[in-house]
């Protein structure tokens, strides 16, 4: 028997958990009020993590529940610091992937703190991220500086596979993560006017979102179900699975609705009952039914975010009403086209800043993929700024990194273009073309490859160590 699964996705209320602070020991966890500045609304903890003064650094570990997140690590000195997080330990950076991210050495010293640290002094660390969709998410850990504690790395300090983080550059690096988008942009609708203004706007917004969440969630489920009923795959689908990470909603959808969401739930149940009688069903496909399942939240579940995103789009897109079942080839082509269209849309909104600056457009078969791997690696590093570059090492405090090229200039993504030793080693083939064009165009990247071969630039002139 053929079993098609049309996953309608995990619909999440707008205030659901997005990241979790694992180390230093956090004040607690309450997803619902994590949008409250400061500290996600949680009061000071009696448990303070001891931090080694002699080492001058401590690890910070978070579990990420979003595919892309802007983070920042702040500190406030004193026993109960209130809102005064005026020390930036790690400026805003972008992280990708789900699961653990560990920064092993978040450094502090007299210069950053403005005072000499003594044994027993207390402080609070706040990790903040961008919100969803606006505002911020906040988690705090209370710490105590200690001269009798050695630096130690908790076992949770590792990076999950496919997790990557890189500093923001330019203006994005100056912005607070709670006022940034996941990729370092300005939050739409978010104002960065006066401090008191933006703080109160954000609290007001959070309250409104919390009250709205239930109603919106129910509406999204119904919208999603409607979209699924009318989707191009519906005729070939037997069972429909609705996966929710909100247990209460999942329970109510299947049982007796109560409270203000009754209407929405009844709409849902009516649609569900109609599923086996859907008019578009192919004869070969049994009627099937709608299953509602609760699945545990966001974090660490690969694909959940994408599913979420697809569901949201599904609820917004206009329904397709094919009068007769599609032919296989047609359906496949339509799906491919639709995928590409949505990917382009996604890319216009989410392309990294550096790619925008370089005007790198989207291509079904990116020409650079035909370059040998070593060159491709160098090219992507130069495009993204994520590589063996001085700014990158400084940002992440890689203490043993070699920050200079042998020509005595700092390593930078564009240094290969300007380095006089490089030029001497092999004449550069790019003539009057600018560095942007070398990094962007097909002929530029090809010349880049040839020149790297001739000059041995990254192996002899600017080696990693």
> What is the spatial distance between Cα 11 and Cα 224, in angstroms, rounded to a whole number?
9
Assess 215 for contact with ligand NAG (CB under 6 A). Answer: no
How would you classify the pairing of strands 87-96 and 164-167?
Answer: antiparallel
Assess 204 for contact with ligand NAG (CB under 6 A). Answer: no
Candidates 64, 167, 175, 179; binder of ligand NAG (CB under 6 A) is: 179
Assess 129 for contact with ligand NAG (CB under 6 A). Answer: no
> What is the spatial distance between Cα 294 and Cα 309, in angstroms, rounded to a whole number?
18
DSSP annotation of 54 reads T
**3-state SS, residue 445:** helix
**3-state SS, residue 316:** helix
With CB under 6 A as the contact rule, which of the stretches 12-20, 116-124, 419-427, 436-444 interacts with ligand NAG?
Answer: 116-124
Q: Is the omega angle on the peptide bond into residue 297 within 30 degrees of 0, that is, cis?
A: no
Query: 268 vs 392, which CB is nearer to ligand NAG?
Result: 392
With CB under 6 A as the contact rule, which of the stretches 176-184, 227-235, 241-249, 427-435 interacts with ligand NAG?
Answer: 176-184
> What is the spatial distance between Cα 272 and Cα 254, in angstroms, rounded to a whole number?
10
Cβ 116 to ligand NAG shortest distance, Å: 4
- Specify whether the CB–CB gap between 437 and 379 falls below 8 A: no
Assess 299 for contact with ligand NAG (CB under 6 A). Answer: no
With CB under 6 A as the contact rule, which of the stretches 25-33, 97-105, 302-310, 454-462 interacts with ligand NAG?
Answer: 97-105
Residues near ligand NAG (CB under 6 A), total = 36
Assess 288 for contact with ligand NAG (CB under 6 A). Answer: no
> What is the spatial distance between Cα 385 and Cα 427, in angstroms, rounded to a whole number?
25
Candidates 5, 29, 43, 84; binder of ligand NAG (CB under 6 A) is: 84
Long-range contacts of 52-55 (CB under 8 A, 24+ apart): 52/146, 52/149, 52/150, 52/151, 52/152, 53/117, 53/118, 53/119, 53/145, 53/146, 53/147, 53/149, 54/147, 54/150, 55/150, 55/151
> Taking CB under 6 A as the rule, which mask of x and - marks residues 397-426 in contact with ligand NAG?
------------------------------
With CB under 6 A as the contact rule, which of the stretches 79-87, 250-258, 325-333, 372-380 interacts with ligand NAG?
Answer: 79-87
Cβ 152 to ligand NAG shortest distance, Å: 13
With CB under 6 A as the contact rule, which of the stretches 172-180, 320-328, 372-380, 453-461 interacts with ligand NAG?
Answer: 172-180
For the chain, helix (H) and strand (E) counts, in that order, are 14, 12
- Specify whether the CB–CB gap between 146 and 50 falls below 8 A: yes
Candidates 33, 107, 157, 331; binder of ligand NAG (CB under 6 A) is: 157
Crossing angle for the helix pair 442-455 and 373-384, to the nearest 10 degrees = 110
Q: Which residues bind ligand NAG (CB under 6 A)?
A: 37, 46, 48, 74, 79, 84-87, 101-104, 110, 114-116, 120-122, 128, 136, 144, 157-159, 164-165, 176, 178-179, 195, 198-199, 202, 396
């Amino acid at each position: 028997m053929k079993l098609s699964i049309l996953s309608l996705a995990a619909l999440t209320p707008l205030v659901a958990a997005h990241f979790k602070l694992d180390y230093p020991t956090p004040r607690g966890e309450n997803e619902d009020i994590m949008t409250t500045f400061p500290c996600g609304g949680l009061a000071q903890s009696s448990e303070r993590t001891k931090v080694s003064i002699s080492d001058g650094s401590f690890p910070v570990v978070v579990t990420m529940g979003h595919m892309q997140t802007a983070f920042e690590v702040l500190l406030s000195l004193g026993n109960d610091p209130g809102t005064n997080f005026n020390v930036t330990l790690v400026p805003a950076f972008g992280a990708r992937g789900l699961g653990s991210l560990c920064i092993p050495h978040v450094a502090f010293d007299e210069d950053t703190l403005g005072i000499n640290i003594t044994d027993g002094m207390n402080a609070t660390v706040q990790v903040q991220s961008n919100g969803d969709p606006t505002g911020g998410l906040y988690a705090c850990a209370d710490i105590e500086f200690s001269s009798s504690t050695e630096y130690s790395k908790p076992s949770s300090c590792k990076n999950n596979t496919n997790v990557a983080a890189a500093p923001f550059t330019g203006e994005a690096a100056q912005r607070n993560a709670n006022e940034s988008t996941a990729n370092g942009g300005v939050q739409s609708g978010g104002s960065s006017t006066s401090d008191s203004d933006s703080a109160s706007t954000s609290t007001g917004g959070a309250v409104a979102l919390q009250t709205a969440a239930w109603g919106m969630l129910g509406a999204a489920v119904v919208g999603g179900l409607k979209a699924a009923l009318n989707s191009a795959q519906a005729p070939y689908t037997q069972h429909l699975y609705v996966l929710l990470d909100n247990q209460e909603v999942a329970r109510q959808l299947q049982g007796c609705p109560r409270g203000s969401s009754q209407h929405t739930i009844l709409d849902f149940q009516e649609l569900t009952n109609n599923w086996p009688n859907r008019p578009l069903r192919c004869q070969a496909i049994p009627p099937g039914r709608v299953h509602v399942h609760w699945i545990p939240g966001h974090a660490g579940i690969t694909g959940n975010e994408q599913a979420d995103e697809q569901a949201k789009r599904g609820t917004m897109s206009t329904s397709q009403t094919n009068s007769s079942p599609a032919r296989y080839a047609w359906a496949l082509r339509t799906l491919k086209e639709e995928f590409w269209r949505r990917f382009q849309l996604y890319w216009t909104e989410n392309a990294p800043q550096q790619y925008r600056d370089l005007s790198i457009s989207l291509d079904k078969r990116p020409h650079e993929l035909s370059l040998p791997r070593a060159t491709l690696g160098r090219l992507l590093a130069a495009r993204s700024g994520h590589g063996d570059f001085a700014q990158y090492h400084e940002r992440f405090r890689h203490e043993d990194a070699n920050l200079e090229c042998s020509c005595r200039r700092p390593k930078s993504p564009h240094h290969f273009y300007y380095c006089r030793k490089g030029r001497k080693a092999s004449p550069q083939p790019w003539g009057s073309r600018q560095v942007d064009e070398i990094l962007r165009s097909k002929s530029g990247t090809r010349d880049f490859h040839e020149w790297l071969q001739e000059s041995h630039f990254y192996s002899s002139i600017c080696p990693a160590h």
